[in-house]
Structure 1
Amino acid sequence: MTPSPTDKVMTVGQLAARSGVAVTALHFYESKGLIHSTRSSGNQRRYPREALRRVAVIKMAQRLGIPLATIHDALKTLPIGRAPTAADWQRLSEQWRQDLTLRIDKLLMLRDQLDGCIGCGCLSLQSCPLRNCDDQLGVQGPGPQLLEPGADPAL
């Protein structure tokens, strides 16, 4: 059943259908405090209509690689009882922009250094910035210390 525009609440099935998010994911979001529901007299979940917009914010943030804990903190800054607005999204996206820029810069640096690591095999050389920055594992012996823990170096 599709809610009418005058409905103030949605069932979990209606929210799932409208948002494209599985019921189990909605239950998970609720268990993490990302969305909230009330209970009907029959103890069924009822979500306010603004939960639909909150789910959209959660999904977009996840697509950007924002951790759920960070999404949770951001959603706590939104007023309860109304859907997030474009201004709310602008404020949230500004908070996340610097972190995203730093992650993009780090990924670009790793991408540009990747060719130097392909084929080396040991992943513990002093020059390997990808797996063993500053050769912290070199004191444990030669070879791929993290890939073969406890392996006999004589083999």
Structure 2
Amino acid sequence: MKAPTDLLTVGEVARRAGIATSAVRFYEDRGLITSERTAGNQRRYRRHVLRRISLILVAKRMGIPLSEVTEVFAALPDDRMPAKRDWERISRRWAGHLQARRREIEELEREITGCIGCGCLSLQRCRVLNPADELGEQGTGPRRLPQRDQQRPFD
């Protein structure tokens, strides 16, 4: 076991990472970070978890789901700081996500420009306000789903 000065409490990790202690516990519950237990059953974290938490926060800002972060972290060592090549591999993988998001945003910009240009704002015809509206093809007005497809609210 490491010397006590090499380990951080939940509160220290949270304070240094700028997150709530509940988030630290949540990340541990999800298997994204690990802790050791003291004789008094208190959690202690190695300092490298701060890097992992930083990467989690970056992924969150990029819109990368925690399920993918979990997948990426599964290939990282738990007992030490990941190497530079580990971070480079993650960076390359997530660069693809950023490029895909950039393309989606550019498509949205083209759609909204077209929408503003056309001025229709029609729920019946507008792809931007009402994408993939299959019922709209049947005409205007409300539609009632068949009974078998409805969920009963109090069951």
Question: TM-score under structure 1 normalisation?
Answer: 0.77
Instruction: Give the AA of the match of 2:88.
Output: Q
Tell me the CA shift for residue 129 of structure 1: 4.8
In structure 2, what is the Cα distance between the partners aligned to 1:79 and 1:31? Answer: 17
The answer to whether the 8 A contact 2:33-2:78 is kept is: no
List runs of 5+ in structure 2 lacking aligned partners.
Answer: 145-155
Number of the residue aligned with 2:110? 112
Label 1:141 to 1:7 Cα distance change in 2 as closer, same or farther (>3 A).
farther
Q: In the aligned structure 1, how far is the partner of 2:6 from the partner of 2:89?
A: 26
Shift in alpha-carbon separation, 1:57–1:112, aligned structure 2, 3 A: same
- The partner residue of 1:37 within 35, 38, 44 is 35
Q: How does 1:1-155 map to 2 (within 5 A)?
A: 7-118=5-116, 119-125=119-125, 128-129=127-128, 131-133=130-132, 135-139=133-137, 141-142=139-140
1:137–1:100 Cα change, 3 Å: farther
**Residues matched between the structures, number:** 140
What's the RMSD between the two structures over aligned residues?
2.4
Match of residue 148 from structure 2: none
Runs of 4+ in 1 over 6 A off after TM superposition: none
Query: Against the structure 1 CA distance between its residues 140 and 67, is the aligned structure 2 distance closer, same or farther, given a 3 Å change threshold?
Result: farther
Q: Which amino acid aligns with 1:70?
A: E
Following the alignment from structure 2 to structure 1, what is the Cα–Cα distance between the partners of residues 14 and 63?
22
Percentage of identical aligned residues: 41
Which consecutive unaligned segments of at least 5 residues does structure 1 have?
Answer: 151-155
Instruction: Give the AA of the match of 2:16.
Output: R
Letter in 1 for 2:33: I
CA 124–48 in structure 1, closer or farther in 2 if over 3 Å, else same: farther
Deviation at 1:130, TM superposition (A): 5.6
Give, as a single letter, the amino acid of the residue that structure 2 aligns with 1:120.
C
- For the Cα contact (< 8 Å) 1:10–1:48, is it kept in 2? yes
